[in-house]
Protein backbone atom coordinates (compact mmCIF):
# COMPACT_ATOMS: atom_id res chain seq x y z
CA UNK A 1 0.00 0.00 0.00
CA UNK A 2 1.54 3.35 -1.04
CA UNK A 3 1.64 6.20 1.48
CA UNK A 4 -0.01 9.04 -0.45
CA UNK A 5 0.58 11.50 2.42
CA UNK A 6 4.24 11.83 1.46
CA UNK A 7 3.69 12.94 -2.12
CA UNK A 8 1.26 15.38 -3.66
CA UNK A 9 0.68 17.44 -6.80
CA UNK A 10 0.08 21.13 -6.08
CA UNK A 11 -2.04 23.60 -8.10
CA UNK A 12 0.80 26.15 -7.80
CA UNK A 13 2.73 24.07 -10.34
CA UNK A 14 0.83 25.94 -13.04
CA UNK A 15 2.04 29.33 -11.75
CA UNK A 16 5.64 28.14 -11.76
CA UNK A 17 5.23 26.71 -15.24
CA UNK A 18 3.56 29.91 -16.47
CA UNK A 19 6.40 32.25 -15.43
CA UNK A 20 8.95 29.78 -16.76
CA UNK A 21 7.09 29.75 -20.08
CA UNK A 22 7.04 33.58 -20.11
CA UNK A 23 10.83 33.92 -19.89
CA UNK A 24 11.22 31.27 -22.59
CA UNK A 25 8.88 33.27 -24.82
CA UNK A 26 10.93 36.43 -24.45
CA UNK A 27 14.36 34.92 -25.07
CA UNK A 28 13.11 33.34 -28.29
CA UNK A 29 11.77 36.73 -29.42
CA UNK A 30 15.23 38.18 -28.87
CA UNK A 31 16.86 35.28 -30.74
CA UNK A 32 14.83 35.38 -33.94
CA UNK A 33 14.05 39.09 -34.27
CA UNK A 34 16.38 39.71 -37.21
CA UNK A 35 15.69 36.59 -39.29
CA UNK A 36 12.49 37.68 -41.11
CA UNK A 37 13.95 41.11 -41.94
CA UNK A 38 17.43 40.01 -43.02
CA UNK A 39 17.65 42.28 -46.05
CA UNK A 40 16.23 45.29 -44.17
CA UNK A 41 18.58 44.77 -41.21
CA UNK A 42 21.50 44.33 -43.61
CA UNK A 43 20.77 47.74 -45.09
CA UNK A 44 20.12 49.34 -41.69
CA UNK A 45 23.45 48.26 -40.18
CA UNK A 46 25.40 48.39 -43.45
CA UNK A 47 26.55 44.76 -43.29
CA UNK A 48 26.05 41.54 -45.30
CA UNK A 49 23.24 38.98 -44.97
CA UNK A 50 25.75 36.62 -43.34
CA UNK A 51 26.48 39.09 -40.54
CA UNK A 52 22.78 39.43 -39.85
CA UNK A 53 22.56 35.63 -39.79
CA UNK A 54 25.38 35.68 -37.24
CA UNK A 55 23.06 37.48 -34.81
CA UNK A 56 21.02 34.25 -34.70
CA UNK A 57 23.94 31.84 -35.04
CA UNK A 58 25.76 33.27 -32.02
CA UNK A 59 23.05 31.77 -29.77
CA UNK A 60 23.95 28.29 -30.98
CA UNK A 61 27.70 28.98 -30.81
CA UNK A 62 27.52 30.22 -27.21
CA UNK A 63 25.40 27.24 -26.19
CA UNK A 64 28.09 24.67 -26.99
CA UNK A 65 30.66 25.54 -24.25
CA UNK A 66 28.02 26.65 -21.73
CA UNK A 67 25.52 23.77 -21.84
CA UNK A 68 27.25 21.28 -19.52
CA UNK A 69 28.35 23.85 -16.88
CA UNK A 70 24.86 25.35 -16.83
CA UNK A 71 23.29 21.89 -16.47
CA UNK A 72 25.60 21.27 -13.52
CA UNK A 73 24.42 24.56 -12.02
CA UNK A 74 20.75 23.63 -12.47
CA UNK A 75 21.22 20.26 -10.81
CA UNK A 76 23.49 21.60 -8.04
CA UNK A 77 21.98 24.95 -7.09
CA UNK A 78 18.40 24.48 -8.31
CA UNK A 79 16.53 25.78 -11.29
CA UNK A 80 15.24 29.01 -9.70
CA UNK A 81 18.67 30.45 -8.92
CA UNK A 82 20.20 29.27 -12.17
CA UNK A 83 17.35 30.28 -14.45
CA UNK A 84 17.13 33.53 -12.48
CA UNK A 85 20.73 34.37 -13.47
CA UNK A 86 19.84 33.73 -17.09
CA UNK A 87 16.76 35.93 -16.98
CA UNK A 88 18.71 38.87 -15.54
CA UNK A 89 21.36 38.54 -18.26
CA UNK A 90 18.60 38.38 -20.87
CA UNK A 91 16.91 41.54 -19.56
CA UNK A 92 20.10 43.61 -19.22
CA UNK A 93 21.57 42.77 -22.62
CA UNK A 94 18.16 42.80 -24.31
CA UNK A 95 17.62 46.41 -23.27
CA UNK A 96 21.24 47.31 -24.06
CA UNK A 97 20.84 45.99 -27.62
CA UNK A 98 18.03 48.42 -28.18
CA UNK A 99 20.04 51.36 -26.84
CA UNK A 100 23.11 51.07 -29.07
CA UNK A 101 21.40 52.32 -32.22
CA UNK A 102 22.88 51.49 -35.63
CA UNK A 103 26.27 50.31 -34.31
CA UNK A 104 26.52 46.70 -35.50
CA UNK A 105 29.55 45.88 -33.32
CA UNK A 106 27.68 46.82 -30.14
CA UNK A 107 24.57 45.03 -31.35
CA UNK A 108 26.65 41.88 -31.82
CA UNK A 109 28.25 42.26 -28.37
CA UNK A 110 24.83 42.70 -26.75
CA UNK A 111 23.51 39.70 -28.66
CA UNK A 112 26.37 37.59 -27.30
CA UNK A 113 25.24 38.60 -23.81
CA UNK A 114 21.70 37.46 -24.56
CA UNK A 115 23.05 34.24 -26.08
CA UNK A 116 24.96 33.48 -22.87
CA UNK A 117 21.62 33.65 -21.04
CA UNK A 118 19.83 31.18 -23.30
CA UNK A 119 21.21 27.85 -21.94
CA UNK A 120 20.19 28.89 -18.41
CA UNK A 121 16.58 28.79 -19.63
CA UNK A 122 16.58 25.98 -22.20
CA UNK A 123 18.43 23.45 -20.05
CA UNK A 124 15.72 23.55 -17.37
CA UNK A 125 12.93 22.43 -19.73
CA UNK A 126 12.62 18.97 -18.13
CA UNK A 127 13.79 20.02 -14.64
CA UNK A 128 10.75 22.15 -13.84
CA UNK A 129 8.21 19.44 -14.81
CA UNK A 130 10.25 16.85 -12.87
CA UNK A 131 10.11 18.94 -9.68
CA UNK A 132 6.46 20.00 -9.89
CA UNK A 133 4.53 17.52 -12.08
CA UNK A 134 3.66 13.85 -11.81
CA UNK A 135 4.91 11.49 -14.46
CA UNK A 136 1.60 11.31 -16.29
CA UNK A 137 1.77 15.07 -16.92
CA UNK A 138 5.46 15.58 -17.60
CA UNK A 139 5.54 15.17 -21.39
CA UNK A 140 2.57 17.54 -21.53
CA UNK A 141 4.37 20.06 -19.29
CA UNK A 142 7.51 19.87 -21.44
CA UNK A 143 5.20 20.31 -24.43
CA UNK A 144 3.84 23.52 -22.93
CA UNK A 145 7.36 24.87 -22.42
CA UNK A 146 8.10 23.97 -26.03
CA UNK A 147 4.88 25.76 -26.91
CA UNK A 148 6.12 28.88 -25.13
CA UNK A 149 9.39 28.76 -27.01
CA UNK A 150 7.53 28.51 -30.29
CA UNK A 151 5.20 31.37 -29.36
CA UNK A 152 8.22 33.57 -28.72
CA UNK A 153 9.76 32.63 -32.06
CA UNK A 154 6.43 33.15 -33.83
CA UNK A 155 6.01 36.59 -32.27
CA UNK A 156 9.47 37.57 -33.45
CA UNK A 157 8.75 36.19 -36.92
CA UNK A 158 5.37 37.88 -37.39
CA UNK A 159 5.60 41.04 -35.33
CA UNK A 160 9.03 42.24 -36.44
CA UNK A 161 8.14 42.66 -40.16
CA UNK A 162 5.05 44.61 -39.10
CA UNK A 163 6.82 46.81 -36.54
CA UNK A 164 9.63 47.65 -38.94
CA UNK A 165 7.09 49.46 -41.12
CA UNK A 166 6.61 52.13 -38.44
CA UNK A 167 9.62 51.77 -36.09
CA UNK A 168 13.39 51.79 -36.44
CA UNK A 169 15.06 48.43 -35.90
CA UNK A 170 16.84 49.59 -32.73
CA UNK A 171 13.50 50.74 -31.28
CA UNK A 172 12.01 47.31 -31.96
CA UNK A 173 14.92 45.68 -30.12
CA UNK A 174 14.44 48.03 -27.17
CA UNK A 175 10.75 47.08 -27.03
CA UNK A 176 11.65 43.39 -27.00
CA UNK A 177 14.26 44.05 -24.28
CA UNK A 178 11.68 45.77 -22.07
CA UNK A 179 9.30 42.80 -22.49
CA UNK A 180 12.17 40.50 -21.48
CA UNK A 181 12.78 42.61 -18.37
CA UNK A 182 9.11 42.36 -17.39
CA UNK A 183 9.19 38.58 -17.74
CA UNK A 184 12.33 38.50 -15.57
CA UNK A 185 10.56 40.39 -12.77
CA UNK A 186 7.61 37.97 -12.88
CA UNK A 187 9.93 34.97 -12.75
CA UNK A 188 11.94 36.24 -9.80
CA UNK A 189 8.78 37.07 -7.81
CA UNK A 190 6.64 34.02 -8.59
CA UNK A 191 8.97 31.07 -9.29
CA UNK A 192 9.52 28.53 -6.51
CA UNK A 193 12.22 25.86 -6.50
CA UNK A 194 10.02 22.90 -5.50
CA UNK A 195 6.80 22.05 -3.64
CA UNK A 196 6.66 21.13 0.02
CA UNK A 197 6.35 17.45 -0.86
CA UNK A 198 7.43 15.69 -4.08
CA UNK A 199 4.93 14.91 -6.86
CA UNK A 200 5.89 11.21 -6.91
CA UNK A 201 5.88 8.36 -4.46
CA UNK A 202 8.97 8.25 -2.18
CA UNK A 203 12.12 7.27 -4.05
CA UNK A 204 10.84 8.21 -7.52
CA UNK A 205 12.27 11.73 -7.24
CA UNK A 206 15.80 10.57 -6.39
CA UNK A 207 18.34 11.27 -9.13
CA UNK A 208 22.02 10.47 -9.56
CA UNK A 209 24.74 13.04 -8.99
CA UNK A 210 25.53 15.07 -12.09
CA UNK A 211 28.86 13.40 -13.04
CA UNK A 212 27.57 9.89 -12.41
CA UNK A 213 24.38 10.79 -14.25
CA UNK A 214 26.34 12.10 -17.22
CA UNK A 215 28.34 8.88 -17.43
CA UNK A 216 25.15 6.83 -17.17
CA UNK A 217 23.30 8.80 -19.86
CA UNK A 218 26.18 8.39 -22.30
CA UNK A 219 26.21 4.63 -21.66
CA UNK A 220 22.63 4.24 -22.97
CA UNK A 221 22.67 3.45 -26.73
CA UNK A 222 19.10 4.71 -27.26
CA UNK A 223 20.12 8.06 -25.80
CA UNK A 224 22.88 8.40 -28.40
CA UNK A 225 20.31 7.77 -31.12
CA UNK A 226 18.08 10.46 -29.71
CA UNK A 227 21.01 12.89 -29.48
CA UNK A 228 21.61 12.40 -33.20
CA UNK A 229 18.01 12.90 -34.24
CA UNK A 230 17.67 15.97 -31.99
CA UNK A 231 20.78 17.32 -33.72
CA UNK A 232 19.07 16.82 -37.07
CA UNK A 233 15.66 18.11 -35.97
CA UNK A 234 16.97 21.28 -34.34
CA UNK A 235 19.43 21.77 -37.20
CA UNK A 236 16.54 21.82 -39.63
CA UNK A 237 14.44 24.11 -37.43
CA UNK A 238 17.28 26.55 -36.69
CA UNK A 239 18.48 26.54 -40.29
CA UNK A 240 15.11 27.45 -41.74
CA UNK A 241 14.30 30.04 -39.08
CA UNK A 242 17.73 31.69 -39.44
CA UNK A 243 17.64 31.92 -43.25
CA UNK A 244 13.86 32.04 -43.76
CA UNK A 245 13.84 35.25 -45.79
CA UNK A 246 16.77 34.41 -48.13
CA UNK A 247 15.45 30.84 -48.63
CA UNK A 248 12.28 32.06 -50.37
CA UNK A 249 13.57 35.33 -51.80
CA UNK A 250 14.53 33.87 -55.21
CA UNK A 251 11.02 32.48 -55.69
CA UNK A 252 9.61 35.99 -55.58
CA UNK A 253 8.44 35.99 -51.96
CA UNK A 254 8.73 39.07 -49.71
CA UNK A 255 9.86 39.63 -46.09
CA UNK A 256 6.17 39.62 -45.13
CA UNK A 257 5.87 36.17 -46.76
CA UNK A 258 8.94 35.05 -44.81
CA UNK A 259 7.27 36.15 -41.60
CA UNK A 260 4.09 34.31 -42.57
CA UNK A 261 6.02 31.14 -43.45
CA UNK A 262 7.86 31.22 -40.13
CA UNK A 263 4.66 31.93 -38.25
CA UNK A 264 2.80 29.04 -39.90
CA UNK A 265 5.67 26.63 -39.32
CA UNK A 266 5.69 27.68 -35.69
CA UNK A 267 1.90 27.68 -35.54
CA UNK A 268 1.91 24.08 -36.68
CA UNK A 269 4.55 23.42 -34.05
CA UNK A 270 2.39 25.06 -31.40
CA UNK A 271 -0.50 22.74 -32.19
CA UNK A 272 1.75 19.70 -32.50
CA UNK A 273 3.59 20.42 -29.25
CA UNK A 274 0.26 20.39 -27.40
CA UNK A 275 -1.60 17.62 -29.21
CA UNK A 276 1.12 15.00 -29.68
CA UNK A 277 2.40 14.94 -26.05
CA UNK A 278 -1.16 14.60 -24.75
CA UNK A 279 -1.67 11.45 -26.82
CA UNK A 280 1.80 10.23 -25.85
CA UNK A 281 1.05 10.63 -22.14
CA UNK A 282 -2.41 9.07 -22.52
CA UNK A 283 -1.15 6.02 -24.43
CA UNK A 284 2.10 5.73 -22.43
CA UNK A 285 4.02 5.55 -25.72
CA UNK A 286 6.96 7.62 -26.92
CA UNK A 287 8.68 5.94 -29.87
CA UNK A 288 5.71 5.80 -32.24
CA UNK A 289 5.00 9.52 -31.86
CA UNK A 290 8.64 10.48 -32.38
CA UNK A 291 8.67 8.25 -35.48
CA UNK A 292 5.51 9.81 -36.88
CA UNK A 293 6.89 13.29 -36.21
CA UNK A 294 10.07 12.80 -38.23
CA UNK A 295 8.58 10.70 -41.03
CA UNK A 296 5.66 13.03 -41.70
CA UNK A 297 7.87 16.13 -41.55
CA UNK A 298 9.60 14.98 -44.76
CA UNK A 299 6.85 15.92 -47.26
CA UNK A 300 6.51 19.27 -45.50
CA UNK A 301 10.21 20.01 -45.96
CA UNK A 302 10.02 19.04 -49.63
CA UNK A 303 7.15 21.50 -50.05
CA UNK A 304 9.11 24.30 -48.35
CA UNK A 305 12.05 23.54 -50.66
CA UNK A 306 10.20 23.67 -53.98
CA UNK A 307 6.79 25.36 -53.58
CA UNK A 308 6.35 28.37 -55.85
CA UNK A 309 2.78 29.18 -54.86
CA UNK A 310 2.05 30.83 -51.54
CA UNK A 311 -0.70 28.42 -50.45
CA UNK A 312 1.52 25.34 -50.97
CA UNK A 313 4.51 26.97 -49.30
CA UNK A 314 2.48 27.97 -46.25
CA UNK A 315 0.66 24.62 -46.01
CA UNK A 316 3.99 22.77 -46.20
CA UNK A 317 5.45 24.95 -43.46
CA UNK A 318 2.51 24.32 -41.13
CA UNK A 319 2.59 20.56 -41.83
CA UNK A 320 6.32 20.29 -41.20
CA UNK A 321 6.09 22.35 -38.01
CA UNK A 322 3.25 20.26 -36.60
CA UNK A 323 5.07 16.96 -36.86
CA UNK A 324 8.72 17.92 -36.42
CA UNK A 325 8.24 20.31 -33.50
CA UNK A 326 5.42 18.23 -31.99
CA UNK A 327 7.83 15.31 -31.58
CA UNK A 328 10.37 17.39 -29.65
CA UNK A 329 8.81 17.47 -26.15
CA UNK A 330 7.99 13.77 -26.40
CA UNK A 331 11.60 13.04 -27.30
CA UNK A 332 12.94 15.12 -24.42
CA UNK A 333 10.73 13.29 -21.94
CA UNK A 334 11.70 9.96 -23.57
CA UNK A 335 15.37 10.83 -23.01
CA UNK A 336 14.74 11.75 -19.35
CA UNK A 337 13.00 8.39 -18.82
CA UNK A 338 15.53 6.10 -20.51
CA UNK A 339 18.47 7.77 -18.72
CA UNK A 340 16.94 7.63 -15.21
CA UNK A 341 18.51 8.25 -12.64
CA UNK A 342 20.49 10.85 -14.57
CA UNK A 343 19.32 14.32 -13.41
CA UNK A 344 16.82 15.93 -15.75
CA UNK A 345 18.99 19.02 -16.10
CA UNK A 346 21.87 16.85 -17.28
CA UNK A 347 19.97 14.85 -19.90
CA UNK A 348 18.16 17.99 -21.06
CA UNK A 349 21.47 19.85 -21.25
CA UNK A 350 23.06 17.18 -23.41
CA UNK A 351 20.07 17.22 -25.77
CA UNK A 352 20.13 20.99 -26.02
CA UNK A 353 23.90 20.88 -26.52
CA UNK A 354 23.61 18.53 -29.50
CA UNK A 355 20.67 20.52 -30.80
CA UNK A 356 22.51 23.85 -30.62
CA UNK A 357 25.55 22.26 -32.25
CA UNK A 358 23.26 22.42 -35.26
CA UNK A 359 24.90 25.80 -35.86
CA UNK A 360 26.90 23.56 -38.20
CA UNK A 361 23.74 23.21 -40.30
CA UNK A 362 23.19 26.94 -40.36
CA UNK A 363 26.79 27.53 -41.44
CA UNK A 364 26.69 24.80 -44.09
CA UNK A 365 23.48 26.22 -45.49
CA UNK A 366 25.19 29.58 -45.96
CA UNK A 367 28.20 27.92 -47.59
CA UNK A 368 26.18 25.68 -49.93
CA UNK A 369 23.98 28.43 -51.33
CA UNK A 370 24.61 29.22 -54.97
CA UNK A 371 25.94 32.51 -56.31
CA UNK A 372 22.31 33.45 -56.95
CA UNK A 373 21.49 32.69 -53.29
CA UNK A 374 19.59 29.38 -53.70
CA UNK A 375 19.40 27.09 -50.63
CA UNK A 376 17.97 24.08 -52.51
CA UNK A 377 21.06 21.86 -52.11
CA UNK A 378 21.21 22.25 -48.32
CA UNK A 379 17.46 21.71 -47.95
CA UNK A 380 17.70 18.46 -49.94
CA UNK A 381 20.58 17.41 -47.68
CA UNK A 382 18.23 17.91 -44.74
CA UNK A 383 15.57 15.76 -46.41
CA UNK A 384 18.14 12.95 -46.58
CA UNK A 385 19.05 13.40 -42.90
CA UNK A 386 15.37 13.23 -41.93
CA UNK A 387 15.08 9.93 -43.79
CA UNK A 388 18.13 8.55 -41.94
CA UNK A 389 16.76 9.77 -38.60
CA UNK A 390 13.42 8.08 -39.27
CA UNK A 391 15.23 4.79 -39.80
CA UNK A 392 17.20 5.18 -36.57
CA UNK A 393 14.06 5.89 -34.53
CA UNK A 394 12.95 2.32 -35.27
CA UNK A 395 15.69 1.20 -32.87
CA UNK A 396 14.45 3.43 -30.03
CA UNK A 397 12.36 1.16 -27.81
CA UNK A 398 9.93 2.70 -25.36
CA UNK A 399 11.11 2.99 -21.73
CA UNK A 400 9.92 0.46 -19.18
CA UNK A 401 6.20 0.67 -18.44
CA UNK A 402 6.90 1.49 -14.77
CA UNK A 403 8.57 4.77 -15.68
CA UNK A 404 5.43 5.91 -17.43
CA UNK A 405 2.84 4.30 -15.24
CA UNK A 406 4.08 4.31 -11.66
CA UNK A 407 2.33 7.48 -10.57
CA UNK A 408 -0.88 7.15 -8.59
CA UNK A 409 -0.77 10.49 -6.79
CA UNK A 410 -3.97 12.48 -6.30
CA UNK A 411 -4.54 15.69 -8.27
CA UNK A 412 -5.42 18.56 -5.99
Instruction: Provide the b/e sequence for 258-286 (b: ≥16 CB within 10 Å).
Output: bbbbbbbbbbbbbbbbbebbebbbeeeeb
CA distances from 255 to 5, 160, 161, 162, 393 (A): 57, 10, 7, 10, 36
The domain locations on the chain are: 9-401
CA distances from 274 to 138, 166, 322 (A): 12, 34, 10
Q: What are phi and psi of 9, to 5 degrees?
A: -105, 125
For the stretch 304-357, pLDDT in tens is 999 989 999 999 999 999 999 888 888 888 888 888 777 666 676 777 777 777
User: In CATH, what class is 9-401?
Assistant: mainly alpha
Q: How much of the chain, in percent, has pLDDT values that exceed 70? A: 89
For the stretch 230-270, pLDDT in tens is 889 888 888 888 788 888 988 888 888 888 898 899 889 88
Mean pLDDT of 90-113: 95
pLDDT at 331: 87
pLDDT at 345: 62
Amino acid sequence: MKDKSTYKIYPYRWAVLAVFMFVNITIQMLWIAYAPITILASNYYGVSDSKIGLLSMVFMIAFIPLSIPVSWGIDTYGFKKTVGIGTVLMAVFGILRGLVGENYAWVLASTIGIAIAQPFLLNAWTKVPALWFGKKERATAVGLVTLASLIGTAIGMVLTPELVKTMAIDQIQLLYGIIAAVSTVFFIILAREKPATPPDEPGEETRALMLDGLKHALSVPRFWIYLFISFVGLGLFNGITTWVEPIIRLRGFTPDDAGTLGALMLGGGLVGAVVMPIFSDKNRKRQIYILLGFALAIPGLIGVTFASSAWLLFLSAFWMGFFLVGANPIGMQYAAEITNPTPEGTSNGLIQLFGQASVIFVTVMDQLKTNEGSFTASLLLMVGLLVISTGLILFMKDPAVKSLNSEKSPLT
